[in-house]
Amino acid sequence: MSFFEKVSLAASDPILGLNAAFYKDDRPFKVNLTAGVYKTEELKTPIMQCVKTYEQKLVHEEDSKEYLPIDGDKKYLQEVGKLVFGKEFWRDQSAKISSFQTLGGTGALRVAGEFFHQEIQSGLYISDPSWPNHKGVFSQCGFSVGTYPYYDLQTNTLQFDKMMSALKNLPAKSIVVLHACCHNPSGLDPTLKQWEEVAEVCRSKQLIPFFDAAYLGLDKGLEEDAAAIRLFAEKGMEMAVAVSFSKNFSLYGERVGALFILSSDATVAEKITSQVKILIRRNYSNPPLHGAKVISGILSHDAYRMSWELELSQMRERIAHMKRVFAEGLVSKVKTKDYRYLGNTKGMFCFCGLEKVQVERLIKEYGIYMTHDGRINVAGLTLTSMEYVINAIANVIG
């Protein structure tokens, strides 16, 4: 008899499970459009050249692998803080910001979720739809996770009026999870004017904004993609920001992220820091060293930073080009659906307007893998696979 014989078999992760199925598929021609990982035209997830170069410097210069503090590398947090909030805001307001290096963006979400559940007895709301792990992470923190309207799968539009109506009716102190840019999974973001309206509702209704910033630099550029976060921060709002460097530094396996919690004054920030540090200590004790050193080194040296921003712009341009070619191909091949909406989407993700049964046909008959709601990562497309994917989608739509 096993102590664990009553343990049930958990369902596969909706994204990583498809990844596993893709790798088991022995068909010679198959296409993976599931997980949010950047790929080159050769379907490689590269180490950025600026990272390789700085790592060589780091290997020669570093002389210790001692533990970092519980809240992480101070230089890293300073450089990331300036990147997210802007140099002037960070210089003037950083005393009111509790800052933590985390295990990727997911680690930031989890730590913040535990803190919010411990300290603020309220509800937490995510967009409908949202990244599937949002609900899982926050449910594990103890929240009964609610949703607010965001994207209409039938019209492929942002349901901004319905979103605003829902936010206006939330109880005070509700935590509202917002995607800073490149909304996952829809690729549709509010305009800056709409973000102004969201900020005003959050202020007037006493809601707590919680930005998830996993794709900074992959839409228009670093400054533009941080605009919503900076808008809220400059209004003096108490809020939280989870940051990931998996995509924009291609440091997926290093698990480098950050959490910032903005409060009303330095005294409150000190108290928040003390409580979050306890949560971190009891969870993973302290964050890893290497990735943070690489990022802080690159961000703090002009030549390395210029190299990073150039490589990031090349990634951004490839994503935009793949999406443009994909949209044009679907418009020319599919006459029963208007695919021009794809031109309004931002970043790696978009919905390609398919029902679950059609997606299942793509997987079974063509070896084209995507999540069952039809969300795809356009960085998984290449000029070689593009026509095959477009023709397959046209065939299943009929």
Phi, psi of 371 (to 5 degrees): -65, 160
% of the chain residues with pLDDT over 70 = 100
Say yes or no to pLDDT of 350 above 80. yes
Tokens representing 44 are: 């490689």
Q: How confident is the model at residue 9, as a pLDDT?
A: 87
Say yes or no to pLDDT of 337 above 90. no
Tokens representing 347 are: 């970043």
Contact status, residue 151 vs residue 173, Cβ threshold 8 Å: no
Instruction: Give tens-digit pLDDT for 273-282.
Output: 999 999 999 9
Say yes or no to pLDDT of 335 above 90. no
What's the mean pLDDT when you consider all of the chain? Answer: 95
Least confident of 10-14, 143-147, 202-206, 287-291: 10-14
Q: Where are the alpha helices (DSSP H) in 334-372?
A: 356-361
Instruction: Give tens-digit pLDDT for 241-261.
Output: 999 999 999 999 999 999 999
Say yes or no to pLDDT of 15 above 80. no
Q: In the chain, what are the domains?
A: 16-47+305-397 (3.90.1150.10), 67-300 (3.40.640.10)
User: Vertex 267, ends 263 and 271: CA angle to 5°?
Assistant: 80
Instruction: Give tens-digit pLDDT for 26-38.
Output: 888 899 998 789 9
For residue 127, what pLDDT band results from cuts at 50, 70 and 90? very high
Residue with tokens 């990331």: 80
Say yes or no to pLDDT of 1 above 80. no
Q: How confident is the model at residue 2, as a pLDDT?
A: 86
Q: How confident is the model at residue 28, as a pLDDT?
A: 87
% of the chain residues with pLDDT over 90 = 87
Residue with tokens 């379907």: 43
Q: How confident is the model at residue 222, as a pLDDT?
A: 96
**C-alpha dist (Å) from residue 34 to 151, 234, 262, 293, 397:** 19, 36, 34, 30, 20
Q: How confident is the model at residue 308, as a pLDDT?
A: 98
Tokens representing 329 are: 């191909």
Query: Got the DSSP string for 128-156?
Result: ES--HHHHHHHHHTT--EEEEE-EETTTT
Look at residue 243 and give its three-state secondary structure. strand
Residue 57 neighbours by CB under 8 Å, 6+ apart? 297
Taking residues 364-392, report their average pLDDT.
Answer: 94
Instruction: Give tens-digit pLDDT for 79-96.
Output: 999 999 999 999 999 999
Taking residues 356-381, report their average pLDDT.
Answer: 94
Comparing CA positions, the residue from 357, 365, 356 lying closest to residue 392 is: 365
Residues in the chain: 398
CB atoms closer than 10 angstroms to residue 95: 11
Q: Which residues are catalytically annotated?
A: 131, 212, 247
Contact status, residue 252 vs residue 258, Cβ threshold 8 Å: no
Query: Rounded to whole angstroms, how far apart are CA atoms 135 and 352?
Result: 23
Say yes or no to pLDDT of 14 above 80. no
